[in-house]
Amino acid sequence: MPEPDDSLFMRRALDLAALGRGHTRPNPLVGCVVVGPEGTIIGEGYHQQYGGPHAEVNALASVADQELLRQSRVFVTLEPCAHHGKTPPCADLLIAKGVPKVIVCNDDPNPLVAGQGLARMREAGIWVSTGLLAAEGRQLNKRFFMAQEKKRPYLVLKWAESADGFLAGPHFQQVQLSGPQAQLLTHQWRTDEAAILVGTRTALHDNPRLNAREWPGPQPTRLVIDKNLALPPSHHVLDGSQPTIIYTHRARASQPNLTYVTLPFAPPGAPPSPDLMPAILADLQARGIESVLVEGGPTVLTALINSNVWDEIRVFRCPKRLERGIAAPRLGLRGWHSREKVGPDDLFTYVNE
């Protein structure tokens, strides 16, 4: 049975896991805490970088007196692996160290693991418990679980709209709607997700850089839908400064940091502009891109909303009024999940549950 302080130790492991955000993808965030026989933490660690030692390895190695492991409990946020990947199986390490008890937050849905780590430890005589703070663990690794269970990236739709419901001025005229605080937060979000997606009109009219200039962290892979290769070579998304994928109907040779993915034309009898999103999401899944921040434009956003293929929507509603222009998507949802003030703007967050 769980002990009174067990949730505190697991919450510490979850906090540690979050320190790896942006650096472990497409692998999950994992933290680990070792509690000694006196009921105090004697070791801890987390998965710091893709390809590097796992959380269990770092936590066990941090214990000064290795003999204490034979009397300790190990708290880990995700089922220890049982297969040889870039590192040896963590389940085998826990067995070899003689750890008597392992408490796990979430089972690992990855077919390479999927209960095998738990079974191996139990067969070796380790007492194993699962499900402690499971909801918090799933929230932390929502991108990983989406990729494993629904076989598509986690999708965050984001836009800023005027007080009267417009994204841009007439003819896609670019207008700065959100304040500096919202812009800074958007750059932080860009480091949180593996990729950032825009459609042709947004790339063409706004000429965005689609990078994180105002916040430290990994740069997202830029994704652009450009069916007919209409973007001029001078546009920022074609500058080769960071990994970029262009989804198009026309074949073009890829270049360093610039990959062209040719999607098929519509089959005979189909509409001339087929919905490309299923093919794009399948390609991203195959590339191991587990999350996407979708920043526009209205055609892409509306297509995802209408097909109910989204996980979060974040809308900055700004005090400026435009009176006419390009309308923002209409959600038709009953209510928002959260609302907060970000500088002069209101941030509404919706969660697809």
> Residue 27: which of 152, 144, 189 has the closest Cα?
144
Which residue shows structure tokens 């995700």? 78
The answer to whether 22 and 217 are in contact (CB under 8 A) is: yes
Residue 135 structure tokens: 């909801």
> Residue 189: which of 207, 214, 169 has the closest Cα?
214
Residue 56 among the catalytic residues: yes
The answer to whether 113 and 27 are in contact (CB under 8 A) is: no
Cα–Cα distance between 220 and 326 in angstroms, integer?
Answer: 27
Cα–Cα distance between 180 and 23 in angstroms, integer?
Answer: 27
Name the active-site residue from 3, 44, 56, 79: 56
Residue 274 structure tokens: 């087929």
Cα–Cα distance between 121 and 113 in angstroms, integer?
Answer: 13
Q: Which residues contact 188 (CB under 8 A, 6 or more apart)?
A: 212, 215, 217
> Residue 192: which of 156, 223, 150, 235 has the closest Cα?
156
Which residue shows structure tokens 């989204």? 310
The answer to whether 95 and 126 are in contact (CB under 8 A) is: yes
Cα–Cα distance between 177 and 167 in angstroms, integer?
Answer: 8
Cα–Cα distance between 198 and 209 in angstroms, integer?
Answer: 11
Secondary structure in 3-state letters for 101-136: EEEEEECCCCCCCCCHHHHHHHHCCCEEEECCCHHH
Residues with active-site annotation: 56
